[in-house]
Amino acid sequence: MGFLLLQFLIVSSSAINIQIIISDQTSANESSQLESSFTSLGHEVSIVDVSNLQTIQPSIASNMNIGIDYTQSPFYSLEISEYSRTWGIIILKNNCEEFTPETWTFCVHPTLNAYALALYSLFQYLDWKKVVIISDTSSQSLKLGLEIEKVFNIMFHSFLSVDSEQGIFDDFVGKKIKAGGYKQVLVLGDSIFTNKVLMSFYNKLVYQTSGIIIVGKDLSITSNEKTLLFFEKGLEKTSSDLEYTINALMIFINLAKEYSEKNQDFTNFSLMGFLEKNTINHMKLADFTLANIISGEKVFIGNCISGVVNFTQDPVFPSGNLDNNNPTIGVSISFNNPVGFPSATQGAYMQLGAIFAATYINITKSLLKNHDLTIFYASCGSEFFFHDLSYYCWLNSNPFLGSFYIASPVLDVILGENQVFNELGVKIPMIGGLVINEGLTNKTNYPMFTRIVASDSNLAYLINLFNVLGWHKFNFLYTNNTQGLQSMESVLKLGLNVINREDLRAVPEGYNSSQFEKYKEIFLEIERTKVRPLFLMANFPDIFYIAESLYDIGLRSGDIIAFFVYKVSANINMLTDVNLKKKVVEILEGNLIAFAQEWVGDYGKNVKNMITDAFGLPNDYKCFSYDSMMLGLNAVDFLLLSGSLYEDPDKVNQAIRMQRFTGCSGIVSINSESNDRKGFKFGAYQVTFDNNTGLFYDKLFCDVNQDSLTPLVFVDNFTWPNGQTDVPSDSRLYGLECPFEDREKVVNDKATAIFYVLSLFFMFYTAMLSLFFWKKWWNSDIKLLFQSSEIKFGDYVVMIVIVVDLFQIMGMGPDLTPFLFGASKIPDYISVNMSNIINFTKDVYWMGVYVTLITCLVWFYLSIVVIFRLDEKFKYSVFKFSNTLAISLMPIIGDLLFLPIVSILLFIFDCHEGTGESLTESFLTKDCSTYCWKDHHLTYSILSIFTLLIFLPLSIFLRPVWQELVAEMNIKTNSIFHITKGILQVLLVILNRTVKKVHQSAHGVIIVLLLIVYSLFLNRYKPFNYPRLNMWKQLSIAAACWSLLIASGYWLTFVYSYMWLCLFAFGWIIIGGIGIFLQKRKFPSLLFSQKSLDISALVKFTFTNTIKLESLPIHRMSTVNYATGFKYEVGKDENNESKLFKRIAARLKTK
């Protein structure tokens, strides 16, 4: 093998006797190459095994004897030292790990300390202060690393086995070097080791940002561009480990030849003195050479002699001269419009949260501890999209996109840029912070897109919110663009009852004041419907001009409730046109927004405060761009710590979808099946003016979390612009065609006072008459039922009445709709609570009044027939039929329909509001076109007063009569129960029309207290003669109390959830269980049903002698058994006349 680096050596005519001392650690190949290398230069070479040293004498043919210690082990130092002293042979050592200077021994390398000091000088020159050392596990490398640590404050020293697989090297560089942000690297090891280290730097994409200095025996690596190589002087051109060793030995042998040529008479002793002058303490001088790899070649650029670094030219690293700052990671934000176009305002404002997040991370290092962020502010169109303009802008700008891209808050820009990136072949994870359109949910269509919010397909919770608010009619208006169309589709999927015409729902994109006349019909349609809720799906500033148009057609504050899916307060605050802002505020103040929640929890509040301090108010939307940036940064940090490539867009996109962290909008994570936020908290906000700051803000009044057991939680009152906190109806004056504007109505104190006076009068009237009837006629006891009897039809009626009473009480309490859903209609139907069943207003209400008055008139006639026994006095069939009909209708009209009839008749006096303060300026709540206390209203009011004056006493008086007239009945009702129940029912109706309007929770609590008192009263005066039925009556009151308490709890806390439904069901199950337990243990059944006829026994009796007549299940049958309805008989004999009618006749003097 020829060695080019040996050509500069001086060949002497006199040969040197060289002994190569080997051991079993020395390979045959190494010893063979050493021998051939020295022999080819004319030297006498012999191979000597260290075990035979004592039997070998140096050759006397040469005046110069040099031994080379190539045992590759320090364990033979004693034998070699003894050998050199005995024969005066100079020993050259290549492995100097355990070297101690001796008379005849020299090390062909500098000391490790000299290496360390030279490298220290190099670091000082380069101004490197964050150096890391990567070495192999050889003792030479480890000791050199430790020596460097003594003189220089390195960051760390890590070592890897050269036998490790490349993946282990990659993992180390990714997790330790790259994640740690280290750029200044010193590599110690052989060629294989160095190759693996450098390959890892390439694989992990940190080579171009690093400065690498290689120190080792083999510096054959010439493909690693711009690495810095550190050599011992004279060994610059070696290309293998063995050649490095041979050249190091040759330097000393050539010194010996040089000395022998100049001094003919010399000895090994004098040669030793010469070598001592050319070494330091018997070790090679600390002279080093520096080279750069430039274009695949070694370029010598300087040296380090006696600890002083000298460069003939500056060293070159891949990224230039390395500083001591952290490496940078680039990200990008859609921030502005191209040069020559108006600067972005809203888009730039919304992205301030992302900028703050990056700044916050750079300062706190809570993420990316060893890296700094740089932001590229993209100016390819933040608020509008033109394809060609965007294409050429991104053609030049895409190299600056970085690891991920915070997308524009405008849908069309997102869709357009996604198309442009695909056309350019650019892969970049896009994170949306605001856009909620359903189309972006699809992972297949938009694989590189994710967003920090959920799509508007999740707005289904609005249905429940609207039910709670009592809104069932809506108008719809949108801008005719992609976002508007998609928003419209998402909202219409909710199944809302949209009132305005389909062809009058859209305005063009970019709508403004100049287009008002052209599209005026659209706004007039909204005014004509008289519907308040308006879904307004438009962008800014279109929303402002739409609000202006609504103002210009005559609508004012409170006439509509615009419902947005984007916040608007911040944009209102930025309005500079005074006249436009005045109109916008008039229309939009108090309007609602269904949108994602910002500033959730303590963390969210802290971030809000910091962003407010940084940028001032307002701070809307900034939370979402903040969380968008944090989502991307969490993903990059995850990749860094896991040793993966944050430069790979697919890996970043995958990592983004894996993250879960606490952001300012709550727990942030991405749904695995879509591009949407998972478990996202929505909120219902209201546009509210803050008197302290003079700014509008979006006040959260309903907290929505669809994955929670409490999906709707009302956290604040709804505040209408006029200061009222009660929820307005979905129609201006309940959707009626009123002869005045809604804003003209006022509370009419005079009409309200009359309503309360009449209510109190009828309450007092009912109570007094009930007590009078009980004292004069019905103060009698009932006999308890002790013996078992066959159940009769009348017994079933009494049981049904108990169930109806329960649901009627529930129907008169707070609304159960929020947690019972459709089941809440059951109490409404049973109590005939028309206001909850149908739109019980105007014509429908008057129809109800007519039916009620006619029903009462018929009832008066039938009552007279029964009381005065007209069927007995006058033998006309009409009176007999009327008597039978009256008895059949007694439990229906006088009991079951008592409560709804009283309620409908009292409605006629409900005139709380009006257009003025005069009594005749008040209008009927159920028909705003009817002014109260004049014209036909006065007529019907008088009729209602007289009807109530008659209906109330008649119904209460006749309730006990019914059971006296029905023959088919075992269960008897205590008359005092009938009397007191009438008082309670009238009181419930009055509370329903008064207290409930003011406070539903207080209304429920008052009824519960009344029922408790009523229950204690019934515990004293048993309502029925059947103990089991008394028990169930008390339990039904308990069930009503429990239901009302649950409803009151809801209306007090506004917690809309399945929790209330579960509590409701739990209570009913417990109450039902108690009833079943008690009736089995303490209240046995005393009523039984007649068994059906056993046909088989009858056949056996007919054709055989085995069955006796007495055993057949046949009972005596009478006409009573076959009666299908109510039946009573009174004979002409006075002894058969009912005691009831004797008492009535005596009082009325009809006998």
Q: Is the alpha carbon torsion for 1054, 1058, 1064, 1070 positive or negative?
A: negative
The string of pLDDT tens digits covering residues 288-303 is 999 998 888 888 999 9
- The pLDDT score that the predictor gives to residue 1120 is 35
Per-residue pLDDT, averaged over 1056-1083, amounts to 83
**pLDDT > 90? residue 778:** no
**pLDDT > 70? residue 86:** yes
- The pLDDT score that the predictor gives to residue 221 is 52
Percent of the chain with pLDDT over 90: 33
Highest mean pLDDT among 385-389, 802-806, 877-881: 385-389
**pLDDT > 90? residue 794:** no
Residues of the chain with CATH 3.40.50.2300: 112-233+285-311, 335-455+621-669, 460-564+568-597+680-714
- The pLDDT score that the predictor gives to residue 307 is 81
Highest mean pLDDT among 38-47, 286-295, 655-664: 655-664
- Under 8 Å CB-to-CB from 90, ≥6 apart: which residues? 65, 66, 67, 84, 104, 105, 106, 256, 268, 271, 272, 275
Q: How far is CA 556 from CA 151, 363, 593, 743, 833, in A?
A: 81, 49, 19, 8, 33
E strand or H helix that includes residue 616? none
Spatial contact of 644 and 178, defined as CB atoms under 8 Å apart? no
Per-residue pLDDT, averaged over 1100-1105, amounts to 56
β-partners of residue 71 are none
- The pLDDT score that the predictor gives to residue 218 is 59
Give the integer Cα–Cα distance in Å for 234 and 250: 10
The string of pLDDT tens digits covering residues 574-595 is 888 889 998 988 888 888 887 7
pTM for the whole structure: 0.67
**pLDDT > 70? residue 1106:** no
- The pLDDT score that the predictor gives to residue 663 is 95
How does residue 646 score in pLDDT terms, banded at 50, 70 and 90? Answer: very high
Give the integer Cα–Cα distance in Å for 679 and 1137: 75
Q: How many CB atoms within 10 Å of residue 915?
A: 18
- The pLDDT score that the predictor gives to residue 298 is 85
310-319, 456-465, 861-870, 936-945, range with the lowest pLDDT: 456-465
- The pLDDT score that the predictor gives to residue 8 is 32
**pLDDT > 90? residue 426:** yes
604: alpha, beta or left, given left = phi > 0 and alpha = psi -120 to 50?
alpha
Q: Is the alpha carbon torsion for 785, 1041, 904, 922 positive or negative?
A: positive
- Rounded to the nearest angstrom, the gap between the alpha carbon of residue 189 and the centroid of all alpha carbons in its chain is 52
Q: Which CATH class is domain 4-107?
A: alpha beta
| CA angle (1150 as vertex; 1147, 1151 as ends), nearest 5 | 100
User: Of residues 926 and 120, which shows the higher confidence score?
Assistant: 120
Q: How far is CA 859 from CA 804, 895, 954, 975, in A?
A: 21, 12, 9, 21
Spatial contact of 592 and 686, defined as CB atoms under 8 Å apart? yes
The chain-wide mean pLDDT, for the chain, equals 83
Task: Give me the CATH code for the 335-455+621-669 domain, please.
Answer: 3.40.50.2300
Give the integer Cα–Cα distance in Å for 547 and 780: 71
User: Of residues 530 and 1103, which shows the higher confidence score?
Assistant: 530
User: Of residues 1146 and 166, which shows the higher confidence score?
Assistant: 166
How does residue 10 score in pLDDT terms, banded at 50, 70 and 90? Answer: very low
Q: How many CB atoms within 10 Å of residue 372?
A: 15
225-234, 256-265, 401-410, 706-715, range with the lowest pLDDT: 706-715
State the maximum Cα–Cα separation within the chain, in Å, rounded to a whole number: 174
Give the integer Cα–Cα distance in Å for 622 and 540: 17
CATH assignment of 112-233+285-311, given 1.25.40.10, 3.40.50.300, 3.90.1010.10, 3.40.50.2300?
Answer: 3.40.50.2300
Backbone angles phi, psi at 1055, to 5 degrees: -85, 110
**pLDDT > 90? residue 838:** no
Spatial contact of 666 and 601, defined as CB atoms under 8 Å apart? yes
Spatial contact of 131 and 123, defined as CB atoms under 8 Å apart? yes
Highest mean pLDDT among 23-27, 169-173, 238-242, 340-344: 169-173
- The pLDDT score that the predictor gives to residue 1150 is 41
User: Of residues 228 and 1113, which shows the higher confidence score?
Assistant: 228
245-249, 533-537, 679-683, range with the lowest pLDDT: 679-683
Per-residue pLDDT, averaged over 467-496, amounts to 82
Spatial contact of 373 and 629, defined as CB atoms under 8 Å apart? no
- The pLDDT score that the predictor gives to residue 344 is 85
Per-residue pLDDT, averaged over 977-986, amounts to 87
Length in residues, the chain: 1151
- The pLDDT score that the predictor gives to residue 152 is 92
**pLDDT > 70? residue 829:** no
Give the integer Cα–Cα distance in Å for 300 and 219: 13
224-238, 505-519, 910-924, 1034-1048, range with the lowest pLDDT: 224-238
- The pLDDT score that the predictor gives to residue 631 is 97
Per-residue pLDDT, averaged over 176-202, amounts to 92
**pLDDT > 80? residue 222:** no
Would you give the DSSP letter of residue 19? E
Spatial contact of 696 and 803, defined as CB atoms under 8 Å apart? no
**pLDDT > 60? residue 339:** yes
User: Of residues 834 and 715, which shows the higher confidence score?
Assistant: 715
Give the integer Cα–Cα distance in Å for 1069 and 463: 29
**pLDDT > 80? residue 1108:** no
Q: How many CB atoms within 10 Å of residue 648?
A: 15
**pLDDT > 60? residue 840:** no
- The pLDDT score that the predictor gives to residue 1054 is 60
The string of pLDDT tens digits covering residues 993-1052 is 888 877 888 888 999 999 999 999 988 888 888 888 889 999 999 999 998 888 888 777
**Topology adopted by domain 460-564+568-597+680-714:** Rossmann fold (3.40.50)
User: Of residues 1120 and 328, which shows the higher confidence score?
Assistant: 328
**pLDDT > 90? residue 401:** yes
